[in-house]
Structure 1
Amino acid sequence: MNARLFGLLLWLLLAPSSYAADPAQNYKLAAGDVLRITVFGEPDLSIRKVQLNDAGTFSYPFLGEIDAKGLTPNQVEKKIVAGLKQGYLNDPKVSISQIEYRPFYINGEVQKPGSYPFVPGLTLEKAIALGGGLTERASMKRVTILRGDGGSVDEDNITKTTVISPGDTISIAQGFF
């Protein structure tokens, strides 16, 4: 076996373990998330765009209210498959796609406080930029992040590279001069 073929085989064996798991696999749904539900071969059961209401639920044909809060898209997919198997379809093929994430919020000492659409890869620095930048009185030492996934609060070790998640609320306080 030549060196090039050996290198390719070695890469194929090692490559999957060198990549981080897809974060979308563990994403927990909550109010404001928008999904696309596709039931293959059943256009009447497919929904192009459905937003989770304040309770984290949505209405689905035949099954009624589906509680998606705290579940991953894959878990909701399984829930719909199980429901459709109960006398509606023999072998439903369901696919759920996340088409919009719930917004994040930034307030305090930024030029344009408010809610902004979340995009994957968002950091504190990018969130501040979306908020129009810091005011003259802002203090990067007095930043608090209320996590949207369950209410935990981050106050320590926050840097411009801190990762922001959907539903997070960022508060930037004034510095004392």
Structure 2
Amino acid sequence: GAGQAVPAPAPPTQAPIAPPMPGRPSSGYQIGPNDTLVIKVFDEPGLSGTFKVDPDGSITYPLIGRVEVGKKTVRDIETDLHKRLLDGYVKRPQVSVEVSEFRSRSVFILGEVRNPAKYSMEGEFTLLDALARAGSVTATASTTIMVLRPKDPNAIAPADPNSGQANEVLRIDLRDLQEGRLTANIMLQDGDTIYVNQAERFYISGYVRNPGSFVLAPNMTVEQAIATAGGLSDRGSRNGIKIRRVIKGKEVEIPAKRTDRVLPGDTVVIRQRFI
């Protein structure tokens, strides 16, 4: 007799994306103009206070004068001030630096997300942070996310993936993000546009439990397509399966095996079995 058909794996579902934890910026955040720093030196109220970073990336600090802080982390600034204060000002300076206000920086998040918009970034802002802010991806999102880096970081409009106005295009696989691969969770920069593509789809008609349109998984077979549509109905046949496909602008109907690949826009047709 014929062997039992192995059921196809269920199509991947979009895992929810957890929102980031609030708190102080992680150690890699680089200070820039218009950030506001709170600097405290233990037992030295005259050397403690709030300092706004000037456009040239420096602050004016008591006793010392101009201190370059741009493109440095809070740890770098603590070390630098400790060294300078030790040099004839304070015997054993204990310096702490925190960012009390972040400069305004923003990213655009467009495409298949629940709330596409422009979002302001605070501190370090990763791709996962951005997707969580936009309410996660929609059910019709593809597995490819594009991050477009503009040539001009002060751009007021989002970059268009088709115009070539971005000088760098990063492609990230959504499944890598959902499986927690840290390399996929890239750090975003001011002016980035995150674009979530729409998934490619296929159709299935005839004797299946849920005929209709579905998201096409990578390398999907006819067998997997049938499983996505809930399997054959009681009267559905595994024989005589056809695929309607547009080739060179004309729709053709081709016989299909269960192991054949389904292409974007295909319609899989399941016929009735004859008792």
TM interval, short-chain normalised: 0.5 to 0.7
CA distance in 1, matches of 2:130, 2:71: 24
Indicate the residue corresponding to 2:75 in structure 1: 74
SS at match of 1:113: strand
1:105-150 deviations in Å (ceiling 9; x for gaps) = 22263633142334x6x54344144346779xx97746225499xx
Deviation at 1:52, TM superposition (A): 2.4
Task: Report the more deviating stretch, 65-74 or 94-103.
Answer: 94-103
Tell me, in whole angstroms, the C-alpha distance in 2 between the residues paired with 1:143 and 1:97: 33
Return the letter of the residue paired with 2:62.
Answer: P
Assess if the C-alpha contact under 8 Å between 1:139 and 1:172 holds in 2: no
> Which residue type is aligned with residue 94 of structure 2?
K
The corresponding residue for 1:170 is 192
RMSD: 4.0
Match in the other structure for 2:171: 156
1:12-161 mapped onto 2 (5 Å cutoff): 24-47=26-49, 49-102=50-103, 104-107=105-108, 109=110, 111-118=116-123, 123-131=126-134, 141=144, 143-146=146-149, 153=168, 155-159=170-174, 161=177
Unaligned runs of 5+ in 2: 1-24, 154-166, 178-183, 201-275
How far apart, CA to CA, are the structure 2 residues paired with 1:80 and 1:130? Answer: 36
Give, in angstroms, the shift of residue 26 of structure 1: 4.1
| 1:11 corresponding residue in structure 2 | none
Question: What is the CA distance between 1:45 and its match in structure 2?
Answer: 0.8
C-alpha distance in 2 between matches for 1:141 and 1:86: 54
Q: For this pair of structures, how many residues does the alignment match?
A: 149
C-alpha distance 175-75 of structure 1, shift in aligned 2 (>3 A): closer
Residue deviations 1:49-84 (CA, integer Å, cap 9, x gap): 333233322121121221112222222112212322
Q: Residue type matched to 1:159 in 2?
A: L
Give me the whole-angstrom Cα distance separating, in 2, the residues matched to 1:51 and 1:167.
21
* More helix as a share of residues: 1
Q: Find the aligned partners of 2:189 and 2:53 in 1 and give their Cα distance.
A: 13
Please give the alpha-carbon distance, in whole angstroms, between the structure 2 residues aligned to 1:61 and 1:80.
11
Runs of 4+ in structure 1 deviating by more than 4 angstroms, as ranges, are 100-104, 131-135, 173-177
- Alpha-carbon distance in structure 2 between the residues aligned to 1:108 and 1:68: 30
Structure 1 residue runs of 5 or longer lacking an equivalent are 1-22
Q: What's the secondary structure of 1:106's corresponding residue?
A: strand
